[in-house]
Amino acid sequence: MILDHIINNLIDRRIVGVAHIEDLESIADVAKRATCERRALDFAKMLLKERRKLEGIAQIISAIRQY
């Protein structure tokens, strides 16, 4: 499934790995940046677990707003 690939890429390369997200990297306050990174990881984890329940972009956007 394409969503699996996207989520895995987000987790592996963008949040944890070497291909950093500029929006997160630009946060000067280390504690605030860590909080944002944790929220991104939590969201990605939820997507992996709940992806089959998300039936459209509206539900994905709604899930994003919860994080």
Q: For position 20, what pLDDT does the model report? A: 66
Provide the 3-class DSSP secondary structure of residue 18.
coil
Domain locations along the chain? 2-66
Condensed to tens digits (0 to 9), the pLDDT of residues 2-49 reads 666 666 666 666 555 555 677 788 889 999 988 988 888 888 888 888
- For the entire predicted model, the pTM comes to 0.62
The pLDDT value given to residue 2: 63
pLDDT at 7: 67
Please name which of 51, 39, 41, 49 lies closest in space to residue 14, comparing C-alpha atoms. 41
CA separation for the pair 33, 46 (Å, rounded): 20
